[in-house]
A and B are shown apart, each in its own frame.
Chain A
Amino acid sequence: MNKDTQECSKEINEVEIFVSKSLRFGVLVSGAVILLGLVLFLSSGEGGYPGDSYPTRLRDIFAGAFDMKPFGIILAGLVLLICTPIMRVGISALVFLKEKDWLYVGISAVVFLILVSGFFFGK
């Protein structure tokens, strides 16, 4: 293994550890929140909203979660789950930045920008 490859794999190790840890954090937190909401819903039989309805706006979802409404909690957990991959892209960009790998800082930043712009195109 030459010096270039060694440095390259040391850097990628660092990135791997950070990205893996951040994903595990996202998965554990969102999984726990969803489970809490599901258990509350199954034990009470009530979603916390009239009929079978549930909130679809971020603000209403988090407001419901803070009021301990089961559907609000489940949806807040699902939102956290959806955010995990996006957060992962941002974290990769930061780790590549720390490693001064400018090419991949650029690539991660481009992906992040496309993702964010996607939310605007979608509306």
Chain B
Amino acid sequence: MTIVAIKILLVSISAGVLGSILGLGGGIVVTPALTLLFGVDIQHAIGASLISVIATSSGAAVAYIKDGITNIRVGMFLEIATTVGAITGALIAGLISPNLLYIIFGLLLLYSALAMLKKTKEELPEEVPLHNVAKTLKLQGEYYDKALKKNVSYNVDNVYSGFGVMYGAGIISGLLGIGSGSFKVMAMDVFMKLPLKVSSATSNFMMGVTGAASAGIYLYRGDISPIISAPVAIGVLIGATIGAKIMQRMKSKTIRKLFIPVLMYVAIQMMAQGLGVKL
């Protein structure tokens, strides 16, 4: 038992590192690892993955906020969209077949992966106009980039489309019980044109709230098993703390190169699910 717990802990540390660097919840590592490597049933794997989302978010946010990478205003404002979306998702979950949604959101992710491919040579977004609403909400910001060794100030564009995509991200979270970090990073990076590090850190920051919104339901249903979730929580907390330090020293270009294949994988998986194909 102890050996299994240590193995889960080690896998979770790597999930926390990857999740905190890319702004994803670590669920893409935790869920398949638990089901395929440890034979955990999908129900408890998803419960543990939700714990991993919340642990990544809080663990990484401690460092990202202290170092000023997270844009708290952008996060708080967009959380209106994700939380309302999450409730919408939970409400429609029993009413409609989510297949069409899977295909639509899968296509959206594929589109953003392609949009990101065009940006692989770009370290920071250039000449972004400040959207009117962004100005009213004081969304623009500044951070110190440890890889570039300079202060980066940035504007925020397309607030409405970003808000819309965030609402979609919320619906996905509510339907599937995940943090949907890929959508959050996409909304901020592709639509609102924030620097990638800010998008990733802010996505991390927001994900905990989205996850917490549905965690109560999972807990009540008994999906959060103490034996599995305890090593996941501790491992991910350790991993996220390490990842938040590593990410700041990485070039945005490198982070993007890691992000694009992950995005494509999630997109294809989602469309396959929508079409009823088992991967």
Q: Does B107 have its Cβ within 8 Å of any Cβ on chain A?
A: no
Q: How long is the Cα–Cα vector from A111 to B166 in the complex, in angstroms?
A: 14
State whether A20 touches B233 (Cβ < 8 A): no
Chain B neighbourhood of A81, CB < 8 A: 51, 54-55, 58, 233
Chain B neighbourhood of A79, CB < 8 A: 219
State whether A16 touches B68 (Cβ < 8 A): yes
State whether A27 touches B209 (Cβ < 8 A): no
Q: How large is the interface on B (under 10, 10 to 19, 20 to 34, 35 or more residues)?
A: 35 or more
Q: How long is the Cα–Cα vector from A2 to B142 in the complex, in angstroms?
A: 14
CB contact between A78 and one of B5, B208, B209, B233 (< 8 Å): that residue: B233
By secondary structure, the A interface counts as: helix
Chain B neighbourhood of A54, CB < 8 A: 222, 225-226
Chain A neighbourhood of B225, CB < 8 A: 54
How close is B197's CB to chain A, nearest CB, in angstroms?
16
State whether B73 touches A118 (Cβ < 8 A): no
A-facing residues in B209-256 (Cβ within 8 Å): 209, 211-217, 219-222, 224-227, 229-231, 233-234, 237
Given contacts A19-B65, A56-B221, contact A111 B209 (CB under 8 A): yes
Q: How large is the interface on A (under 10, 10 to 19, 20 to 34, 35 or more residues)?
A: 35 or more
Chain A neighbourhood of B215, CB < 8 A: 82
A-facing residues in B37-64 (Cβ within 8 Å): 51, 54-55, 57-59, 61-62
Q: How long is the Cα–Cα vector from A46 to B35 in the complex, in angstroms?
A: 24
State whether B213 touches A115 (Cβ < 8 A): yes
Chain B neighbourhood of A71, CB < 8 A: 226-227
B238 nearest in chain A by CB position: A31
Q: How long is the Cα–Cα vector from A20 to B222 in the complex, in angstroms?
A: 31
Q: Does A50 have its Cβ within 8 Å of any Cβ on chain B?
A: no
Q: Which residues of B contact A (CB under 8 A)?
A: 1-2, 5, 51, 54-55, 57-59, 61-62, 65-66, 68, 70, 72-73, 76-77, 79-80, 83-84, 86-87, 90-91, 137-138, 141-142, 208-209, 211-217, 219-222, 224-227, 229-231, 233-234, 237
Known: A8-B138, A38-B234. 15 other contacts (CB 8 A): A12-B73, A19-B65, A19-B72, A20-B65, A27-B59, A30-B233, A37-B230, A54-B225, A56-B221, A75-B219, A82-B219, A107-B80, A111-B79, A111-B80, A115-B213
**Can you name 8 A-B pairs with beta carbons within 8 Å?**
A12-B141, A37-B226, A54-B225, A86-B209, A88-B58, A111-B209, A114-B84, A115-B209
